[in-house]
Structure 1
Amino acid sequence: MSITRAKSIDFLYEECKDFDLVLVPDAPMASALNRRLDQPHFGPFAITPRRLAARRREQAEDRLAFLEIIQTTDLNWKETSYAVGNILQCWEYQGAADAVLNYEQFATTATHTAVDCITEMDTTSKRLTEYCIESDTSVAVVGFKQFTELERSILPPDYDIINLFTREPFDHPPFRVLDSPTAIVDAVLDTVTAENADDVAVVLDAASQYSSLIESALEAADIPYYGGPGFTDNTRHRAFLQLLRSAHAGRDTQVNDVRPLLTQLGMSIDIEHDEKRLYDLDRQGVDWLLEFRDEVRSSTFEEAINAYEAVTDSTIDAFRNELETLGILDDAITKPAIDRLEFYLQSYEVPIDRENDGVLLADAKSAAHVDRAVVFYLAIDEGWTHSSPRRPWVDEDQEFERNIRQFQRLLQNGVDQYYLVQDTSGGTPVTPCLYFEELFDKDFDKFSDLDSLQHSRSFRETQSGFEKEPLDVSPEEVSALSQSSLNTYVNSPRDYFFSRILDNPDKKHFREGNLFHDFAEFYVSHPDVITTDTLDEVATTILNEVDPFLRGVDTEVCHTTYRVGLQTIVEFLDGNPPQGDGFVTSDSGRGENFFAEYYNRPIDASHTERWFANTNLGLKGKIDLVHNPTRLLDYKSGSKKSAYSIVKHSALDPPSDKPNFQALLYLAHQRSEHPDEELQFTFFHFLETLDDVVTGDASLEDCLTTVTYYPVTYEEYITRPVVFTELQEDAANDCNKTFSKSTYEVYRALLNAYEFPDTRDSDELIKSDFGQTLTDRLIADVGDYKYVKNGCKQALRYLLRIRNQNYFADDLDRFEEFVRERMSELNTRRAGDERFPVQGLGGDPNYRYVDNRDCILEGESR
């Protein structure tokens, strides 16, 4: 099967121009046929059945019926909406207003009440039911199968049917596959101008992201359009609704929850406060909002509108009129009242006056005819598929056929059609509209499997006000990267770029972490100031500082958590005080310390919060604690990670999906200070034993994860006698038994003779030639026993665990080269020679770790 060619409007007009009356399935087709009339015509010519019967523009009778019922009966809003939807839908498919009562599961008391009310109303459906076309009228019905039972009920005994389709296939244009939604919208704006806007239509899923994208793009380019935003899309209407909703949100409402409202109210609040409670902000302008939130619960909707209009210096008369129509303008603003209002606005489209000029934005699920010369079709994905009503009065097969015919007609509008689509979105294949499965006699998973053209993203000439002016300024090169910047850059260079130019909100865990770090630094310098009683005071102080980020119910739990964390830090530092001379570089320096100011005591320890900038390696950072010259320590408030996990996520080729190079970076710098020494980096997860402290079973060792750097290559390390001794004593039982019966000379000779495989997978190592050779040699030396074969597998796993839980000289060598490559790459991009791509070294970024998600469109790669 293929797409069947639809008849053109001109061809249809020639077929039906001699009839007195032409009934068509949708209003745009009627308008197109009427525009082609070449001689005066008495009465209507091309018209929809509803327009013919009602003698007026088609109205959303579901909304009108809803309004009538809630004002004349005792039914609540939700049961009214449910009943109205069923009644009108069944009427449409069965041809009678009370047809729904023939279905027992729907014949409820509420439905009976609603039927009685609707049958008394002057609705289009009622007029359609009562209307009959005079028998002496010559009638043509265009697309008879598209008409419902109610629409067919007006037909006279004799009429002619004009098919919408020919018997020929439609040679559709190729699918133009672009990289992203932005690229698709750019492609549209490459063609559309203010001068040709009246000749262009854009067909899209109105519920998709394309709706807002194309509207914003057209507005920015000063290109007129219509058929876009509805009543509830009005920014002032949305802001007023959010204002009402916020009044009942409680004292835990965060700034980011109401930021769009604050913007509409002209209240500028820095983004750093986004995750704080609104009630804790001392900012000019917020007082009005807080007062309104307190007062609105005793106000009426009209009083709230008046207050909103006064503070915004604007009017929302349309919203006021709609509330009056609903009969709630003078009602109190209770939470149930707001819920009902939101339900109504989500359920019904409030009619608005639109200008009929410019680009036509058409919903893919409404009318099938678009009378424009150039038509762009955006996405054509599964969002274009109709959801057939699941009701007993609907024949699903007939409904599917009706929808697929409409879809085929829709794809053929205009003289020129452009199908603009994506193959993938966010790394996931985009599913083409499901109707294509019926229309194309071939297997496909994505658009590029069909007749398609690949398009790389093209950049439009910028509009006035956005021109780029060349600047004679040399870009400043980055000389060193911190671990957080490197992590972000490897995951997504685009996210790194935005992190350099955008501010991010202050966060609860950042504030907590900084305070714990300040406490640990202060305690190293002044352990005598802190006592058991003091810890309660410190916990309360931290709680007060973090309080703006907390819900009221979290306060006591957080205080306990802070108290336990502080106690754990104190116990560790008491039992493991820093040793040696500390760590000093030319870039060392202490920032502000909250507790130093709180207790009015200086910080004089050379072991804590040590900054470094190693430009030779391109690395910089801050070391929480130099525990001794060869051991660094970092405080962590998050959950504990194993040494295996730390090494795994610092992989370079390919990088992990959660890249974290902190340990590698700090050890690389420490190696430059102590080049031939064994070094350690310890993560101190001071909240890890929170539950154990409560039960009295806590152990400091459970808080610590240490990775060790050995100043030799991995292969050199495992040839050491100490490793052979570990295989004899510390590995699993069969390994101990096997190697205890062999000698170090046998082990060393084997490692000297054969190269150890470059793998971190134990199964791969065991199956390797080296693994087989080791087994054969130990069998020859110890005997052909089952425990020897198993012991060799255990030995190989043990050796691989050493590799996967530690760092060696070759690891740090590769990391330093990796950093040099990233630095060169980064500075090239900073100079403007190439863009910062979305994809990192490992492909699509892990969006869980992308901080500026709103700035990166899903599926964008360049």
Structure 2
Amino acid sequence: MSIKRSKPIDRLYEEVAEYDLVIVPDAPLASALNRRLEHPHFGPFAITPRRLAARRRETAEDRLAFLEVISQTDLNWKQASYAIGNVLQCWEYQGSPDAILEYDAFDTPETRTVVDCIKSLETTSRTLTEYQIDREEYDSVAVIGERQLTNLERSILPTEYDAVDRFCDDGFELPPVRIFDSPAAIVDAVLDTVTTENAEDIAVVLDASSEYSPLIEAAFEATAIPYYGGPSFTDDQDHRAVIQLLRSTISGSDTRIGTVKPLLTRLGTTIDVDHNEKRLFEVDDPELEWLHDFCDRAAELTISDALDTYEKRAACTLETFRAELDQLGLLNEPITADTIDRLTFYLETYDVPIDRENDGVLLADAKSASFVDRPVVFYLGLDERWTHTSPQRPWVDHDEEFDRNLDQFQSLVQSGVDQYYLVQDTAGGAPVTPCLYFEDLLDVEFERFSDFESIRYSRTFRPTDEGFEKEPVDVDIEPETALSQSSLNSYANCPRDYFFGRLVDNPDKDYFLEGTLFHDFAEFVVNHPEFVNDAVIEEVTGVMLEETRPFHRDVDLATRRTTYRVGLETIVDYLEENTPTDTDFLTPTSSSENFFETYFDRPVDSPATERWFEDDNRGIKGKIDLVQSPTQLVDFKSGSKKSSSQVLKRAAIDPPSDQPNFQALLYLTYYRSQRPDEELEFTFFHFLETVDDVVTGEGTLDECLTTITYQPIPFDEFVQSRTVFEALREEAPNDCNKTFSKTSYEEYRAAFDAHQPPRTRDADAMADSPFGNVLLERMIEAVGDYKYVTNGCMQAFRHLCGYRKEGYFVEDLDEFERFIDDQLEELNRYRRGDSRFPVEGRAGEPNYRYVDNRDMILRTERATDEPADETEATR
């Protein structure tokens, strides 16, 4: 693959060295040519049109125009910014400030106001409009890359000049792209090359708005490698923190600790992650007192007061920020939402100039530069975000604009003696689209970077004496011997989420705290049923409201009070009707601390509640909320109710569910080991299911219950029992009752001697099976070839499959025990470091609704099965 070759900078210099003046389209190219001057030169040599006209460094005239317009007119800031952008852009393309008024859609009072104001300003656009290169001052003039100059820039050119093409007739062979698995891996590859000694020889070109920008900046800072051209005024951590301090004053009572965490971190304040989702003003911590006080007084303060407060807390002086606020006229403005919005708008719209140390690695924006004068240049990303978006304005010639951008891109990617294109082939599970300019430059079709000539890299490993040191994993790590239902659910959905869940703490959630309090109350009721009355329920409702207040807005408190009260009453009603019985077989167990045990100073020691178990032989563990009877377990749920068929579907092993939940299956498997050969039940009690109905005077306890059964015999034995046969005659739909009432149990039983019923929950599948065909034939033979017989058999199949939608049988729990063994073996293999914890779970891509550590999980898997080319990776 080849594109038009850009002339090397030394060759370009040779072509223009004898000229008095060389006009170039961008400053980096001018600087590169000026550095190659071999003899003293009077006046400018290589220079951009704007700098030549203004005889000073180019400035962001849009910002200067904005500051002038808002000080001289009554336009609001967004109106002024919009009009200024249009006027300056049209001026650039059409060569006159009044040209925009020729377009009816833009001939507005606001635009005319801005035109009148800008025309009188000393802007570079005005200087360009009035300036003309004097041939008496410059005998010979060369113009490099004339097509990249705008109409306004071309207007200064003399009648006679020599055009010098930036490109030659030779082709440029595009080096192979180097494919990495993630932005972090790309940054690692750059760090393997850059040192403090060679930083001056290296440039990094990237899309400034992409993830590569903060990653490379953070990496250079962490390794003390100097760089410039990176963070803007707004990127300064103190500046961002000041804005966040201001925002915290107008967010109201719903401000969360997590939203002000960056501010607190910048100020050296550490607040436990548990509090992240709690409301700022409900967290009692000495480290937050100053912020509470500041927010309380904000209505009396000015922006200057906020800056003073921040400078005092951070022990710093923000003179540049203060000067900018003063220039905007905001320094002494009160702290209001409108003031903060205007300040934020300004900082997001305009680049405030900052002093930079021009040493170290050069960071260049792919959409601004067309040339980089460094021997080694890394290009990061090169994806569709590198493509310019042409202004959608009537004064823009889109073909000309495209050609200008294409030349810029074509020149940029050839900068340097050595070019390294570091890219991703996929991101977020989808192919990465290369920059669209490649389509016009290359004579081959492609959809992704792997269609180019490419080198693929696996993970890079940095020496232990650089960056963070890595400790080797102890291969003799103690294996995991038992899984809880929550761990198993997480592991089945996304093994890597399970892994991170073991490593990092997550903030408290309102539903976690609410669930714990409801569970503690239920346990307390079992232990002290005679103590709990309406007054106690009302008191507990208030206590729960107070405990969860940090999570809820004031406007939501009345609704939460109703929800809590109804939930507590429903729990009491259920336990009154379903008091635990026959608990003598249980041994007392030490329970975890119960909130209401401490609050009411009454012991909680019933053996029937909060039963912890850990069965290493079967690899399972957990806590049973309530042992209601020797054969019935109960679990209290604050979430929405699921039907028995939904519960079983989510616990399915084959095919796996994308919403895995193995709680009922796991608990019944354990309890079977304690009560073998007995029918068992596991009941989910969704005590908030009927909140809406209870408020309107309706609702029953039955609507809150979902019960999963266990039959201690195989499914095929169960369905051929006389009990099931009698159910077909009495409990199934009419045609089924009619059909089987006219036959005998022996006729029914004989169908099972020919074929075993399939283990399916699908009635159609059972009807189409050999067993289904035999049963239908026997019923027709015994009763007659009637339509109701055919329909009755179909109803029978639905009835038989219904048993498998309501519970489990011996083979289901046996299969689950084997499944647990397999999961533990696999999990321990990952824990030993034999391979990485994968992102995809048993059902494929994780269901991210149930992923707790989403921001720590890359959706693409890094290659680990092919070694990195050490020479290529560290060149």
Q: TM-score, normalised by structure 1?
A: 0.94
Report what 2:247 is aligned to. Answer: 245
Amino acid at match of 2:116: D
Q: Distance in 2 between matches of 1:14 and 1:784?
A: 102
Report what 1:140 is aligned to. Answer: 142
Does the 8 Å CA contact 1:181/1:857 hold for their aligned counterparts?
Answer: no
How many Å apart are 1:757 and its aligned residue? 5.2
Q: Distance in 2 between matches of 1:21 and 1:387?
A: 32
Alignment of 1:748-767 (within 5 A): 748-754=749-755, 756=757
Does the 8 Å CA contact 1:583/1:626 hold for their aligned counterparts?
Answer: no
Residues 440 and 745 of structure 1, relative CA distance in 2, 3 Å threshold? farther
Report what 1:230 is aligned to. Answer: 232
Does the 8 Å CA contact 1:688/1:702 hold for their aligned counterparts?
Answer: yes
Q: 2:505 aligns with which of 483, 491, 503?
A: 503
Report what 1:101 is aligned to. Answer: 101
Report what 1:481 is aligned to. Answer: 483
Report what 1:362 is aligned to. Answer: 364
Q: Distance in 2 between matches of 1:445 and 1:581?
A: 68
Amino acid at match of 1:512: E
How many Å apart are 1:751 and its aligned residue? 4.5
Alignment of 1:687-766 (within 5 A): 687-727=688-728, 730=731, 748-754=749-755, 756=757
Q: Distance in 1 between matches of 2:20 and 2:799?
A: 91
Larger deviation, residues 522-531 vs 762-771: 762-771
How many Å apart are 1:227 and its aligned residue? 1.3
Does the 8 Å CA contact 1:26/1:367 hold for their aligned counterparts?
Answer: yes
Report what 2:872 is aligned to. Answer: none
Residues 464 and 453 of structure 1, relative CA distance in 2, 3 Å threshold? closer
Does the 8 Å CA contact 1:426/1:860 hold for their aligned counterparts?
Answer: no
How many Å apart are 1:398 and its aligned residue? 2.7
**SS, match of residue 5 in structure 1:** strand
Amino acid at match of 2:48: T
Does the 8 Å CA contact 1:657/1:842 hold for their aligned counterparts?
Answer: yes
Report what 2:53 is aligned to. Answer: 53
Residues 266 and 764 of structure 1, relative CA distance in 2, 3 Å threshold? same
Larger deviation, residues 16-25 vs 247-256: 16-25
Residues 140 and 575 of structure 1, relative CA distance in 2, 3 Å threshold? same
Report what 1:637 is aligned to. Answer: 638
Larger deviation, residues 509-518 vs 450-459: 450-459
Unaligned runs of 5+ in 1: none
How many Å apart are 1:503 and its aligned residue? 2.1
Amino acid at match of 2:203: A
Report what 2:840 is aligned to. Answer: 839
Q: Distance in 1 between matches of 2:99 and 2:754?
A: 89
Amino acid at match of 1:6: S
Q: Distance in 2 between matches of 1:782 and 1:3?
A: 84
Report what 1:82 is aligned to. Answer: 82
Q: What is the root-mean-square deviation of aligned Cα atoms in Å?
A: 2.7
Q: Distance in 2 between matches of 1:36 and 1:304?
A: 50
Report what 2:128 is aligned to. Answer: 128
How many Å apart are 1:783 and its aligned residue? 6.5
Report what 2:679 is aligned to. Answer: 678
Does the 8 Å CA contact 2:32/2:373 hold for their aligned counterparts?
Answer: yes
Q: Distance in 2 between matches of 1:778 and 1:433?
A: 69
How many Å apart are 1:135 and its aligned residue? 4.0
Q: Distance in 2 between matches of 1:737 and 1:641?
A: 33
Residues 796 and 215 of structure 1, relative CA distance in 2, 3 Å threshold? farther
Report what 2:871 is aligned to. Answer: none
Amino acid at match of 1:704: L
Larger deviation, residues 295-304 vs 213-222: 295-304
Report what 2:163 is aligned to. Answer: 161
Q: 2:516 aligns with which of 514, 517, 521?
A: 514
**SS, match of residue 197 in structure 2:** coil
Q: Distance in 2 between matches of 1:483 and 1:395?
A: 63
Residues 505 and 123 of structure 1, relative CA distance in 2, 3 Å threshold? same
Matched, 1:523 2:525: yes
Residues 844 and 72 of structure 1, relative CA distance in 2, 3 Å threshold? same
**SS, match of residue 811 in structure 2:** helix
Report what 2:424 is aligned to. Answer: 422
Q: Distance in 2 between matches of 1:63 and 1:246?
A: 27
Residues 8 and 566 of structure 1, relative CA distance in 2, 3 Å threshold? same
How many Å apart are 1:207 and its aligned residue? 1.2
Does the 8 Å CA contact 2:545/2:557 hold for their aligned counterparts?
Answer: yes
How many Å apart are 1:763 and its aligned residue? 6.4
Give the paired residue count. Answer: 861
Amino acid at match of 2:529: P
Report what 2:44 is aligned to. Answer: 44
**SS, match of residue 234 in structure 2:** helix
Report what 2:68 is aligned to. Answer: 68
How many Å apart are 1:438 and its aligned residue? 4.0
Report what 1:852 is aligned to. Answer: 853
Does the 8 Å CA contact 2:754/2:774 hold for their aligned counterparts?
Answer: no
Q: Distance in 2 between matches of 1:404 and 1:735?
A: 76
Amino acid at match of 1:614: D
Matched, 1:257 2:265: no
**SS, match of residue 542 in structure 1:** helix
**SS, match of residue 59 in structure 2:** coil
Report what 1:33 is aligned to. Answer: 33
Q: Distance in 2 between matches of 1:213 and 1:178?
A: 15
Report what 1:210 is aligned to. Answer: 212
Q: Distance in 2 between matches of 1:535 and 1:21?
A: 89
Task: Provide Cα deviations, 1:87-128, integer angstroms capped at 9, x if missing partner.
Answer: 111111111111111122222211111111111011111111
Residues 734 and 230 of structure 1, relative CA distance in 2, 3 Å threshold? farther
**SS, match of residue 683 in structure 2:** strand
How many Å apart are 1:475 and its aligned residue? 2.6
Q: 1:335 aligns with which of 323, 334, 337?
A: 337
Does the 8 Å CA contact 1:383/1:433 hold for their aligned counterparts?
Answer: yes
Amino acid at match of 2:433: T
How many Å apart are 1:272 and its aligned residue? 1.2
How many Å apart are 1:45 and its aligned residue? 2.3
Q: Distance in 2 between matches of 1:37 and 1:758?
A: 86
Task: Provide Cα deviations, 1:437-468, integer angstroms capped at 9, x if missing partner.
Answer: 44455554432233333322222223457334
Residues 94 and 592 of structure 1, relative CA distance in 2, 3 Å threshold? same
How many Å apart are 1:522 and its aligned residue? 0.7
Q: Distance in 2 between matches of 1:217 and 1:168?
A: 38
Alignment of 1:295-374 (within 5 A): 295-374=297-376
Q: Distance in 2 between matches of 1:762 and 1:203?
A: 62
Report what 2:602 is aligned to. Answer: 601
How many Å apart are 1:833 and its aligned residue? 4.2
Amino acid at match of 2:372: V
Report what 1:10 is aligned to. Answer: 10
Q: Distance in 2 between matches of 1:766 and 1:175?
A: 58
Report what 2:869 is aligned to. Answer: none
Percent identity of the aligned residues?
61
**SS, match of residue 286 in structure 2:** coil
Unaligned runs of 5+ in 2: 865-875
Larger deviation, residues 562-571 vs 185-194: 185-194
Residues 285 and 667 of structure 1, relative CA distance in 2, 3 Å threshold? same
Does the 8 Å CA contact 1:247/1:293 hold for their aligned counterparts?
Answer: yes
**SS, match of residue 708 in structure 1:** strand
Residues 473 and 777 of structure 1, relative CA distance in 2, 3 Å threshold? closer
How many Å apart are 1:850 and its aligned residue? 2.0
How many Å apart are 1:734 and its aligned residue? 6.0
Residues 656 and 600 of structure 1, relative CA distance in 2, 3 Å threshold? same
Larger deviation, residues 281-290 vs 505-514: 281-290
Amino acid at match of 1:449: D
How many Å apart are 1:551 and its aligned residue? 0.6
Report what 2:624 is aligned to. Answer: 623
Does the 8 Å CA contact 2:144/2:164 hold for their aligned counterparts?
Answer: yes
Does the 8 Å CA contact 1:83/1:114 hold for their aligned counterparts?
Answer: yes
How many Å apart are 1:664 and its aligned residue? 1.4
Does the 8 Å CA contact 2:390/2:401 hold for their aligned counterparts?
Answer: yes
Larger deviation, residues 604-613 vs 35-44: 35-44
How many Å apart are 1:704 and its aligned residue? 0.9
Task: Provide Cα deviations, 1:726-760, integer angstroms capped at 9, x if missing partner.
Answer: 55555566666666666655654444444655666
Residues 570 and 129 of structure 1, relative CA distance in 2, 3 Å threshold? same
Larger deviation, residues 727-736 vs 229-238: 727-736
Task: Provide Cα deviations, 1:460-486, integer angstroms capped at 9, x if missing partner.
Answer: 223457334569895333332211122
Q: Distance in 2 between matches of 1:749 and 1:541?
A: 63
